[in-house]
Amino acid sequence: MNTHSNKDVLDVALIGGGIMSATLGVLLKLLEPKLRIAIYERLNTVAQESSAAWNNAGTGHSGFCELNYTPEKTDGTIDISKALKVAEEFEISKQFWSYLIQQGFAKADDFIHSTPHMSLVHGEKDIAYLQKRHDALIKNALFENMQFSDDTQKLMEWIPLIMENRLPGEKLAATKMDAGSDVNFEELTKTLFRWLAAQPDVELHLSHEVRDIDKEDDGTWYLEIKDLKNNSRKNTIADFVFIGAGGMAVRLLEKTDIDEGEGYGGFPVSGQWLICKNKSLIEKHHAKVYGKADVGSPPMSVPHLDTRIINGQKCLLFGPYAGFSTKFLKHGSYLDLPESLTSHNILPILSAGMHNMDLTKYLIEQVMLTPEERMESLKQFIPDVHIEDWELAYAGQRVQIIKKDGKSGGLLEFGTEVISNKEATVAALLGASPGASTSVYIMLDVLNKCFAEKMKSMQWQSKLREMIPTYGQSLSSNPQLARTTRKKSADILGLKV
């Protein structure tokens, strides 16, 4: 991409003030310092939707504890490919964040903390699965330090809050990875935007909502923007647009009218947490403990009991409980879903709905839960649970991707996908999993798709290797590199290996 000669045309417009736009903006400004960048955020502060600290679980997803990343195959062996992929992607994030710390942009203690990642199962069948999963994973250097135990004494040492008040003879087992982390993505996002907004030729516009995106005859993009504070309309023109609008990205993608965006729709799933108010319980637990999802439940509803460190304070949350709302953003409108329906996506959406009745049933059941019923799933983790120690809070809104599919009409997906046009002048990020943890990897994907020539240039290649030393190399197939890379990042970020 050439820096535009017309002063009124931006090189890059970033829509949305979440972790994704922040990461892309910082990457671009470091790679090409002369770029003219503007960021538009509809709320009056950045990082208040999914990237807000209490709107997500803050798990630095590495494939250590998420059992849905390691399904059992029909032959009884464990498929570890997704866990390896996520572990590699998180190592990329950690390298980039380490670079930012070394450059003095950020302080590790403000946003990342060492927190063991554990998986917990009940009963012989699941214990056999967990043992097999452990045996398969420890063969790879990225997981070699994973510990397994079904010994009550050991488990008591690891997770006293969970092990107290168990019935005699209850069978439990867990794995533990000390290399796990808790990340405050809100603080990280704010840090990234603080640096970005202080750079020359960067404008951060808060309370500015992008209402429309149209392609001009010369290939640039015309953005129609509402200044919500002054109740006025504005517009701008940009060579490249990134739609990092979280749940709203699917609606804005529709507005670009690019062929590649046709047939996409969104299915919103809201979340709720129980937040612990009892200090002695909070102090007794120090881990992110993931259980197994119920049959028929979506992958993002895996229950977990999580230590969080938010603004220097230790906290404890349990959840998420799924729910349904037609909003695409927590601060959105109930009309978001109905207004997203077009002649291109109505069939895929209806078809995905019909093929996912289990999910619909699950969501209805979750919405109908009484406070006492909600306690039942927490009881699996803390047998002697008291309702008055916990308070219900709303998490962020996730919008799952629905896309056209030749065979079934419409597919519901739980991952993330970057959609861009063939001219590579607009890209949108849809979906929310594994999410913020892998933001650096996902934004490198945007750069590879939309700045392909620049990404091959000597200048960008050498800068990329300065920021992410293992850029372009596989860690899962290079044990020595995996060990030295994890150790180096751990030393800078204050984590364990």
Ligand X SMILES: Cc1cc2nc3c(=O)[nH]c(=O)nc-3n(C[C@H](O)[C@H](O)[C@H](O)COP(=O)(O)OP(=O)(O)OC[C@H]3O[C@@H](n4cnc5c(N)ncnc54)[C@H](O)[C@@H]3O)c2cc1C
Work out whether 337 is an interface residue with ligand X (CB under 6 A): no
Work out whether 437 is an interface residue with ligand X (CB under 6 A): yes
Return the SS3 of 196. Answer: helix
Report the nearest approach of ligand X to the CB of residue 386 (Å). Answer: 24
H/E stretch holding 172 reads: strand 172-177
Work out whether 204 is an interface residue with ligand X (CB under 6 A): no
Work out whether 20 is an interface residue with ligand X (CB under 6 A): yes
Maximum pairwise Cα distance, the chain: 75
Residues 6+ away with beta carbon under 8 Å from 494: 108, 109, 112, 113, 114
Work out whether 374 is an interface residue with ligand X (CB under 6 A): no
Of the residues 261, 323, 348, 435, which one makes contact with ligand X according to CB under 6 A: 435
Q: How far apart are the C-alpha atoms of 71 and 90, rounded to whole Å? A: 20
Buried b or exposed e, range 91-116, using 16+ CB within 10 angstroms: bbbbbbbbbbbeeebbebeebbbbbb
Report the nearest approach of ligand X to the CB of residue 74 (Å). Answer: 30
Work out whether 381 is an interface residue with ligand X (CB under 6 A): no
Work out whether 162 is an interface residue with ligand X (CB under 6 A): no
- Judged by CB under 6 A, the stretch of 54-62, 100-108, 356-364, 458-466 that binds ligand X is 54-62
Of the residues 436, 440, 464, 482, which one makes contact with ligand X according to CB under 6 A: 436
- Judged by CB under 6 A, the stretch of 49-57, 96-104, 147-155, 449-457 that binds ligand X is 49-57
Query: Closest-CB residue for ligand X?
Result: 18
Indicate the residue type of 344: H
Report the nearest approach of ligand X to the CB of residue 227 (Å). Answer: 11
Q: How far apart are the C-alpha atoms of 202 and 421, rounded to whole Å? A: 25
410 φψ region: left (φ > 0), alpha (ψ -120 to 50), beta (else): beta
Alpha helices in 39-150 (DSSP H): 81-102, 108-111, 124-137
For the chain, state the CA radius of gyration: 23
Of the residues 12, 13, 18, 63, which one makes contact with ligand X according to CB under 6 A: 18
Helices 19-31, 81-102: crossing angle, 10 deg rounding: 60
| Nearest CA-CA partner of 12 in 426, 440, 495, 438 | 426
Of the residues 13, 48, 53, 256, which one makes contact with ligand X according to CB under 6 A: 48
Q: How far apart are the C-alpha atoms of 157 and 141, rounded to whole Å? A: 25
Work out whether 51 is an interface residue with ligand X (CB under 6 A): yes
Work out whether 303 is an interface residue with ligand X (CB under 6 A): no
Residues 168-197 that bind ligand X (CB under 6 A): 185
Of the residues 32, 49, 239, 389, which one makes contact with ligand X according to CB under 6 A: 49
Of the residues 14, 31, 53, 57, which one makes contact with ligand X according to CB under 6 A: 57
Work out whether 43 is an interface residue with ligand X (CB under 6 A): yes
Neighbours of 344 (CB within 10 A): 15
- Judged by CB under 6 A, the stretch of 164-172, 242-250, 369-377, 445-453 that binds ligand X is 242-250
Q: Which residues bind ligand X (CB under 6 A)?
A: 15-21, 40-43, 48-51, 55-59, 61, 185, 209-210, 244-246, 248, 252, 271, 320, 329, 395-396, 398, 429, 432, 434-437
